[in-house]
Amino acid sequence: MSKIKCQCGHENPFGTVLCEQCGRPQTDEARESKLIDMRYEGSARRSQTYKRSIVDKIWNFFSSVKVGINIIIAVLVTSAIGTIFPQKLFVPATTEADIFAYYEKHYGFAGTLYYKLGFYDMYNSWWFIILIGMLGTSIIIASVDRVIPLYKSLKKQRTKRHTSFLKKQRIYAEGVVADSNSSFDKAEEKLKELRYNVKIEEGALLAEKGRFSRWGPYVNHTGLIIFLFAVLLRTLPGFYVDETVWLREGETRAIPGAPGYYLKNNDFIIETYSKEEDAAFGQAIDRVGTIVKNFQSDVTLFKDPEGGLPGQSEQMEFVKDYSITVNNPLNFDGFNVYQMDYRLNELKSMTFQLMEKTTDKSFGEFTVDLLNPERLYELNEGAIVELLEFYPDFDGVEDGEPVTKSPIPNNPAFIFNMVTTAKPEGEKSFVAIRQTLETNVNDYEVKFVSAETRDITGLVVRKDKTLYLLLLGGIIFMIGVAQGSYWNHRRIWIQKGDGNELVLAGHTNKNWFSLKKELDKVKLYADLPQYEDRQETKFDDDGKKGDKS
């Protein structure tokens, strides 16, 4: 494509609206309009210039701010729909059938529809992920399409602009002053005092400040892209560990996802607020009942010794003791271990005694460890109790056989064989909580004495290699958004005309109010012609004009 040669002699890239150097309008539309469109300095943007090939069309689609806004709105609406009913991950069900049943039961027809449309797992759905992908594409293309030409034309702008450029600015003044040279010099002085960068060329002045705020949007978009890229990385294996581990008090286990490391739960603690110690909260405690003060797991971290064989627990090396609480995870080697859940009073062991029914004579007590039960228990006078079968989570009898629901001792049941000198073959007995069953009438029985319980802590193990990248994206975004929001790019042009005539124009990318305040100061000091804001009466016609403060 050919270049556009401006009257001032500068060659502009094809598609330029305002000459990069002198600002003369290059298109008929710009020449005819009363105010020129200063967005992106009237530079040649790819999307506005090339519209033929398929690549151009894709580029133009994603570079459009309107398309970008529509994508934002689409993400917004889908996100909102996702909060109408709880998402799948908050539903206490695991199989698809159970999940469906949950929505149907709790939310009726609307719930069924919600499930069928896939809204119950909105944020992992293909269309949501595609939307986010489109958003990312739009951010990249729209930024590149604008930032390069904007950078070039701000870099190439000349101090002296053509009058047709100044005349079409929103803030404009022309007029004869008492002494244009003195006004010009005083304006320079005052503008410098207001921290403008002032450049002078052939009786023309350009005062500029805050140009770097123009890069704010592109900086924050870069931050967003880094953030989205980090989120994308998390889907790759190895970047991300997320495991749950349940640890009983006194138990040591290998930490899932962190090979070579072991964790021992020394103690799990729950504390609640008490009216005595926390008197200020007395009223609240009365109203609510119990309020938890602390969930805490006191743990010890071990690891395999250097060069040792993994899994040989006797040789574990002590690393550290730590108290994990809700806001204080345990940190080691890039891993974090969080306090997430707990179960109180799980049965640990049960103590029984062997008795002769008729005489109530005891042969002594024995204790069954409910996680690793021993098979034989030797008692007084040569009596032996043999544990034949153990059902940790007894759930009734199926096909004549007792069954267990899980390996967790929620409802333990036992089949014992009681061997005594009087009955050397032994007597069998089925013992569960509050029941004893015998096939034949026995002479002896195993009687429950006591049970010991302990707490279990639920910990989550996480490692996330993308965290620093996410944080970097966030920081860059914040820098960019502050840069673009809290600074303004202001430019003031003053040019000498014939005799004592002065021409003045001003432009800012936003916050016109402050630009005008600064201009007022310069005008007062340097005796400049009164400027006019050609958009001030944009909303109010003269009949209902309000304060001009």
Partner 1 sequence: MQLASLSGNLLYFSFVAYLVATLFFGGAVKGAKTQESYKNNRWRKIAISITIIGFITHLGYFITRWIASAHAPVSNMFEFITAFAMMVVGAFILLFFLYRTPSLGLFALPLAVVMIGYASMFPRELTPLIPALQTHWLTIHVITAAMGEAILAISAVAGLVFLLKNIDLTKRSKQRFWLESVMFTLILVVGFILSSSTFAIMGYEAKFTYINKNEQTAQIVYNYPPLFGMNEYESLTPDKMTPLAEMPPIVNAKTLTTFVWSVATGIVLYLLLRLILRRPIAALFQPFAKKANSEVMDEIGYRSVLIGFPVFTLGALVFAMIWAHEAWSRFWGWDPKEVWALITWLFYAAYLHLRLSRGWEGEKSAWLAVIGFIIIMFNLIAVNLIIAGLHSYA
Q: Considering only residues 39-78, where is the footprint of partner 1 by CB under 8 A?
A: 39, 65-66, 68-69, 72-73, 75-76
Contacts (CB under 8 A) with partner 1, residues 187-246 = 242
CB burial of 84-103 (b: ≥16 within 10 Å; e: otherwise) equals ebbebeebeeeeeeebbebb
Please give the helix or strand (H or E) that residue 151 lies within, else none: helix 126-156
For the segment 439-478, give every residue that binds partner 1 (CB under 8 A): 460, 462, 467, 470, 474, 477-478
Question: Which of helix, strand or coil describes residue 21?
Answer: coil
Give residue for tokens 């002032």. Answer: 198
Closest alpha carbon to 38 in 507, 514, 533: 507
Quick one: angle between helices 126-156 and 54-63, nearest 10? Answer: 90
Helix (H) or strand (E) holding 127: helix 126-156
Q: Is the CB of 313 or the CB of 328 nearer to partner 1?
A: 328
Among 235, 294, 345, 406, binds partner 1 (CB under 8 A): 294
Q: Closer CB to partner 1, residue 124 or residue 313?
A: 124
Alpha carbons 189 and 232: distance in angstroms, whole number:
53
Per-residue CA distances from 528 to 171, 180, 184, 191, 199 (Å) = 13, 8, 8, 13, 18
CA distance 498 to 326: 76
Judged by beta carbon, residue 341 or residue 452, the one nearer partner 1 is 341
CB 395 within 8 A of CB 403: yes
10 or 510: whose CB is closer to partner 1?
A: 510
H-type alpha helices, 349-412: none
Residue placing its CB nearer to partner 1 in the complex, 288 or 397: 288
Q: Would you count residue 273 as binding partner 1 (CB under 8 A)?
A: yes
Nearer Cβ to partner 1 (55/279): 279
Angle between helices 126-156 and 65-81 (to 10 degrees): 150
Angle at 382 (CA atoms; ends 380, 385), nearest 5 degrees: 80
Two tokens, residue 228: 């989205």
Q: How far is CA 241 from CA 90, 256, 258, 322, 398, in A?
A: 20, 9, 9, 21, 40
Cβ partners under 8 Å of residue 290, min gap 6: 272, 273
Rounded Cα distance between 427 and 501, Å, is 122
* Closer of 121 and 189 to partner 1 (Cβ): 121
The two tokens of residue 430 are 């089925």
Among 119, 165, 218, 338, binds partner 1 (CB under 8 A): 338
What is the smallest separation between the CB atom of 518 and partner 1, expressed in angstroms?
14
# binding residues, partner 1 (CB under 8 A): 71
Closest distance to partner 1 from the beta carbon of 111 (Å): 10
Stretch that binds partner 1, among 1-9, 154-162, 389-397, 482-490 (CB under 8 A): 482-490
Query: Between β-strands 197-201 and 171-176, what pairing exists: parallel, antiparallel or unpaired?
Result: unpaired
DSSP state of 411: B
Question: Of 102 and 394, which has the nearer Cβ to partner 1?
Answer: 102
CB of 293 to partner 1, least distance (A): 7
Which range touches partner 1 (CB under 8 A), out of 95-103, 154-162, 275-283, 444-452?
275-283
User: Which residues in the 83-112 window bind partner 1 by CB under 8 A?
Assistant: 83-87, 89, 106-107
The CB-of-467 to partner 1 minimum distance in angstroms stands at: 7
Exactly one of 7, 33, 79, 313 binds partner 1 (CB under 8 A); that residue is 79
Please identify, using beta-carbon distances, which residue of 443 and 536 lies nearer to partner 1.
536
| Near partner 1 in 7-46, by CB under 8 A | 39
**Measured in whole angstroms, how far is the alpha carbon of residue 115 from the centre of its chain?**
25
If the CB atoms of residues 140 and 482 are measured against partner 1, the closer one turns out to be: 482
Candidates 236, 326, 437, 524; binder of partner 1 (CB under 8 A) is 326
Q: Which is nearer to partner 1, 84 or 422 (CB)?
A: 84
Give the one residue of 174, 251, 278, 298 binding partner 1; rule: CB under 8 A: 278
Residue placing its CB nearer to partner 1 in the complex, 376 or 478: 478
Please tell me the distance from the alpha carbon of residue 473 to that of residue 485, in angstroms, as a whole number. 18
Q: Kindly state the smallest distance separating residue 329's Cβ from partner 1, in Å.
A: 7
What does the alpha-carbon distance between residue 20 and residue 373 come to, in Å, rounded to a whole number?
86
Within 507-526, which residues bind partner 1 (CB under 8 A)? 510-513
Among 4, 99, 200, 340, binds partner 1 (CB under 8 A): 340
State the sign of the Cα–Cα–Cα–Cα dihedral 526, 532, 536, 537: positive
| Subset of residues 116 to 145 that bind partner 1, contact rule: CB under 8 A | 123
Shortest separation between residue 292's beta carbon and partner 1, angstroms: 6
Rounded least distance, CB 271 to partner 1, Å? 9
CB of residue 295 vs partner 1: minimum separation in angstroms? 5
Binding region for partner 1 (CB under 8 A) out of 250-258, 319-327, 368-376, 386-394: 319-327
